[in-house]
């Protein structure tokens, strides 16, 4: 069975840290110059807050997070049960 999807754009349900590969549930912003200093153009997709903090500490770079938002799995609207499988 072939299903055609036209005009729909799909966002990834989960984003992952470019460094540690763990799920990123926290979104944040820092000043652009600080971000460049900390990430050094190595992690283009971004890193989680914990990795960013670790890298900034190693580099001795003082910063503050701005616009922090947290999204849990249940906030994304995902069902905890598996979709498509029914018990009979």
pLDDT, tens digit (0-9, with 9 covering 90-100), for 19-51: 999 998 888 999 999 999 999 888 888 899 999
Residues 6+ apart with CB under 8 A from 26: 48, 49, 68, 69, 70
* This prediction's pTM: 0.68
> How buried is 27 (Cβ within 10 angstroms: 0-12 exposed, 13-18 middle, 19+ buried)?
middle
Q: What CA–CA distance (Å, rounded) separates 9 from 40?
A: 31
Query: Can you give the pLDDT at residue 70?
Result: 86
Specify which residues 66 forms β-bridges with: 29
Instruction: State the pLDDT confidence band at 12, using cuts at 50, 70 and 90.
Output: low
Q: In this model, does residue 10 exceed pLDDT 60? A: no
């Amino acid at each position: 069975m072939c299903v055609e999807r036209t005009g729909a754009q799909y966002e990834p349900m989960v984003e992952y840290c470019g460094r540690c590969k763990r799920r990123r549930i926290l979104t944040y912003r820092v000043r652009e110059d600080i971000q460049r200093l900390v990430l050094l153009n190595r992690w283009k997709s971004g890193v989680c807050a914990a990795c960013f903090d670790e890298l900034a500490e190693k580099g001795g770079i003082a910063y503050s997070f701005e616009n922090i938002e947290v999204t849990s799995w249940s906030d994304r609207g995902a069902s905890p049960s598996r979709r498509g499988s029914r018990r009979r």
